[in-house]
Homo-oligomer: A and B are copies of this chain.
């Protein structure tokens, strides 16, 4: 993107993005203040605008990209290798554990809500994330179908979409109500449904 970045500059930029991401998780999208990011990262306002001339929105967009990649990376090594029921179960457990540990801090939850309306670019990042996520699940389903573990009648894309919806809703309800049953039930029902060919 922006050329001419000193090693020191790149490091500072990275520090800003990471600090902003942490601040985002703690405070929420629209409660993040540039001042907080400055304090956490030990930078000044001129630095923020030096590396992100388009201001807050551009910074948050960079953070969104970072977090979106992280969401998928956090599901490895399971997500890319959903080739056995054990892998599915491991993936399920990892997901639950991770989001329970996160508590009410969802890195992208805020963006999903409605922040995307004023920031179409952020919306694009989110839809792209969901596309990749759904594709990974669908690939896993097809692997299992090839291994005759899931009936061929199952539409992989549809099943993946439904499962993904369950995850998102489960996480949403986890963050807002503090209860894990929604996420766990959604995952268990979804996986059990695959087994039975729903």
Contact = CB atoms under 8 A, between A and B. Distances in A.
Interface of A: 28-31, 104, 106, 109-114, 116-118, 123, 126-127, 130, 157-159, 161-173, 175-177, 181-183, 185-186, 188-190, 192-193, 195-198
Nearest to A175: B114
A186 B159 CA distance: 8
A10 B196 CA distance: 55
Contact of A113 (B110, B165, B183, B185): B110
22 contacts: A28-B113, A28-B117, A29-B114, A106-B114, A109-B114, A110-B113, A112-B176, A113-B113, A116-B176, A126-B177, A158-B189, A161-B181, A162-B182, A162-B189, A165-B169, A165-B170, A165-B182, A165-B183, A166-B166, A169-B171, A193-B196, A193-B198
